[in-house]
């Protein structure tokens, strides 16, 4: 087989691939964001269990532990099977939330709460499969693909927030309105996750530009793309993939981590700050305001919109931050948001809190894209795949540390 000619294949299907990446990014967090966004419903069902905090705290150990194992064995794992398993698990778990609510007729209690927690853990396992697998897979392709995927992650939050505001307004005056909105949410979520399964299985691997980059990665020694190449109609490696064995050697995960420890810590610090504030603090600790029960929903929506906008800013090359030292400096300065949120919650009005929350999301999205698109440059396909998995591992580590630290806001409030 002749290796695909770069000039004729490199851009063919580029925009279609970006759209599919955006949809797959949506699918990676749509179910989980649906669970977070209906926190007012779970707060009503389980008023004594702090569901916005507990569900996140249950989710993260499963996500982090699973991703740690998958990252360690990344070079030997069938990426296609890994990603498809993740999206199928998202679909089944979304369906399980729906069935659990219908089976219990929307009643609370410890048994139902434990069931919801089990589903939250399943979402964590699915996230570890998909987010690490997709970021690793896209790291050896075009930077725009990673940007589209992580923009899709943020878009899932913005879309679920918008849907929640609409369903709350639609059902606010009806009997059992909170529950109706929640049921609608997870019905939409299950359908969307099924769409992602089909997109990843039958559409994405057949795009010419995706086949080109996967063929290139295979020629550089990647063993994880064989099933995806087969799904795209490429049964054998290109002839000039039979290269010197030295070229097939890749840096170990330890060597990659040591060379990129600043990027890894950047990802950790971005998310340890964000998750120490969002969603727990914004849901429970911002006081009473004129917006009433809408207040927490508006704050979460503003965070998600800011996060989404921030992930598109680096598309303007002049606005993309690529200096490693500058990235680390900005990420450290971002910790000034902690005292800013504390004093705003205590003394400020809702306008200042909405502005701060928007900036939290904007900076989170912007810095995430800057790190994920800058770090893989200069490496070969297998190394870029491994580095993408490592960065997502540190991202989830930051989220886990953040949701744990989030409980510190409850000191002095009966805990």
- 167 in helix, strand or coil? helix
pLDDT in tens, 280-302: 666 555 555 566 667 777 888 88
**CB-based contacts of 149: which residues, under 8 Å, 6+ apart?**
21, 22, 24, 25, 28, 134, 135, 138
Q: Which two tokens stand for residue 330?
A: 């900005």
DSSP character at residue 334: G
- pLDDT at residue 112 tops 60: yes
Find out whether 185 and 160 touch, Cβ atoms under 8 Å. Answer: yes
Tokens of 47: 């008023």
Directed axis angle between helix 14-37 and helix 294-310, to 10°?
160
Interval 341-380: pLDDT, tens = 888 878 877 888 889 999 999 999 999 999 999 999 989 8
pLDDT at 277: 84
Q: Would you tell me how many other CB atoms lie within 10 Å of the CB of residue 229?
A: 22
Share of the chain above pLDDT 90, in %: 50
- Distance CA(266)–CA(378), nearest Å, equals 19
* 321 neighbors 370 (Cβ within 8 angstroms): yes
Q: What is the CA radius of gyration of the chain?
A: 21
Residue 374's φ and ψ, nearest 5 degrees, are -85, -40
Average pLDDT over every residue of 5-27: 82
pLDDT of residue 292: 63
Select from 161, 159, 155, 135 the least CA-distant residue to 308: 155
Nearest to 134 by CA among 153, 110, 115: 153
Residue 259 predicted with pLDDT over 60: yes
Please state the pTM of the whole predicted model.
0.86
Question: Closest Cα partner for 128 from 75, 201, 72?
Answer: 72
DSSP state of 244: -
CA distance 319 to 362: 13
Predicted confidence (pLDDT) per residue in 33-56, tens digit: 888 777 778 877 888 777 877 887
Cα–chain-centroid distance for residue 314? 18
> With pLDDT > 70 as the criterion, what percentage of the chain qualifies?
88
Nearest one of 370, 363, 300 to 333, comparing CA atoms: 363
Which of 65, 189, 195 minimizes the C-alpha distance to 129? 65
Rounded average pLDDT over 253-260: 95
What six digits make up the tokens of 271?
A: 């998310």
The yes-or-no verdict on residue 334 having pLDDT over 50 is yes
Question: For residue 247, is the peptide bond before it cis, meaning its omega torsion is within 30 degrees of 0?
Answer: no
């Amino acid at each position: 087989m002749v290796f695909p000619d770069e000039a004729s294949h490199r851009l063919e299907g580029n925009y279609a691939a970006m759209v599919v990446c955006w949809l797959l990014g949506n699918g990676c967090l749509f179910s989980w964001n649906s669970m977070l966004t209906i926190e007012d419903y779970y707060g009503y069902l389980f008023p004594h269990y702090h569901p916005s905090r507990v569900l996140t705290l249950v989710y993260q150990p499963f996500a982090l532990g699973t991703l740690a194992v998958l990252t360690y064995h990344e070079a030997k794992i069938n990426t296609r099977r890994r990603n498809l398993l993740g999206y199928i698990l998202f679909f089944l778990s979304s369906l399980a939330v729906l069935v659990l609510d219908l089976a219990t007729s929307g009643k609370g209690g410890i048994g139902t709460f434990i069931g919801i927690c089990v589903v939250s853990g399943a979402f964590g396992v699915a996230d570890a499969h998909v987010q690490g697998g997709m970021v690793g897979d896209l790291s050896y392709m075009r930077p725009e693909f990673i940007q589209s995927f992580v923009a899709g992650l943020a878009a899932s939050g913005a879309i679920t927030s918008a849907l929640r505001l609409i369903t709350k307004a639609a059902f606010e005056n009806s009997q059992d309105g909170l529950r109706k909105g929640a049921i609608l949410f997870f019905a939409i979520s299950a359908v969307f996750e099924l769409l992602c399964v089909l997109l990843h299985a039958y559409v994405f691997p057949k795009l010419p530009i995706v086949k080109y980059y996967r063929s290139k990665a295979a020629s550089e020694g990647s063993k994880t793309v064989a099933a995806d190449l087969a799904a795209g109609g490429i049964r054998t490696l290109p002839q000039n993939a039979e290269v010197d064995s030295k070229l097939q050697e890749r840096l170990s995960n330890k060597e990659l981590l040591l060379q990129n420890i600043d990027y890894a810590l950047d990802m950790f610090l971005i998310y340890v700050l964000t998750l120490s504030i969002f969603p727990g603090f914004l849901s429970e600790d911002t006081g009473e305001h004129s917006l009433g029960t809408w207040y927490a929903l508006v704050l979460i929506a503003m965070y998600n919109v800011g996060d989404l906008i921030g992930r598109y800013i680096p598309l303007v090359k002049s606005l993309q931050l690529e200096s490693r030292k500058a990235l680390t400096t900005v990420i450290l300065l971002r910790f000034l948001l902690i005292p800013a949120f504390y004093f705003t919650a205590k003394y400020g009005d809702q306008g200042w809190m909405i502005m701060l929350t928007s900036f939290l999301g904007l900076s989170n999205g912007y810095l995430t894209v800057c790190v994920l698109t800058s770090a893989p440059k200069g490496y070969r396909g297998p190394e870029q795949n491994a580095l993408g998995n490592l960065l997502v591992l540190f991202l989830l580590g930051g989220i886990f540390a953040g949701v744990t630290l989030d409980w510190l806001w409850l000191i002095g409030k009966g805990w």
